[in-house]
Structure 1
Amino acid sequence: MALHLQHDWLPVLGRTVEIRQWNATVRAGRVDAVTDDGDILWLAPDGHHPRCLFERSLGYQVWIQYAWERQDRQ
């Protein structure tokens, strides 16, 4: 599974993403909300992980799998 850096955070609302900071994976999950300026996002609670906020200014990055790469190839 190839992940790609997503520079614009607004379109990832509702998508499953991976959050990285300084090239290390911090958490993965579904994006619950994004601020209008796209500089802050929240991941939805998942199991024992609570809802969590990530700020672009603190070095967080969003990585996604492109939709056309997720499709089953037959």
Structure 2
Amino acid sequence: MNSEATIETQRAASDLEHDGTDAGKTDKPLGLRVDWARLPGHSVEVWLQGERVARGVVDQAAEDNSVLWIAAEGISTRRIFDKSSGYQVWL
């Protein structure tokens, strides 16, 4: 990867906003994400009721931030998660 691509990737990641809830107070990654529509291509963790249920790259997300899909990897199939069921996404 060339330096321009690396800088652009870092800039895109830093442009994503999070709400900062409990950041650094648990073993969860950097921050809770509420802007699911901006996450395709990013590695995330999906949590439900305080437990990590999935980790992977966001394949696609609804424009209204209601659902997202984690890309298939290895023998795992593509998975969908919906915000209304209580899933949280951490970047």
TM-score bucket of the superposed structures, by smaller chain: 0.7 to 0.9
The equivalent residue for 1:8 is 35
Relative to 1, partners in 2 of residues 1:51 and 1:5: Cα closer, same or farther, differing over 3 Å?
Answer: same
Is contact 2:32-2:89 (8 Å) kept?
yes
Paired positions, count:
64
The equivalent residue for 2:55 is 28
Aligned identity (percent) is 38
Relative to 1, partners in 2 of residues 1:18 and 1:2: Cα closer, same or farther, differing over 3 Å?
Answer: closer
> More helix per residue: 1 or 2?
2
Question: How high is the TM-score relative to the length of structure 1?
Answer: 0.80
Moved over 3 A (4+): none
Return the letter of the residue paired with 1:41.
Answer: L
The equivalent residue for 1:72 is none
In angstroms, what is the RMSD of aligned CA positions?
1.3
Larger radius of gyration: 2
Return the letter of the residue paired with 2:31.
Answer: H
Question: d(CA) in 2 for partners of 1:29 and 1:49?
Answer: 10
Gaps of 5+ in 2: 1-27
Return the letter of the residue paired with 1:61.
Answer: Q
1:61 lines up with 2:88 in the alignment: yes
Gaps of 5+ in 1: 65-74
Larger RCO, structure (CA 8 Å, separation 6 or more): 1
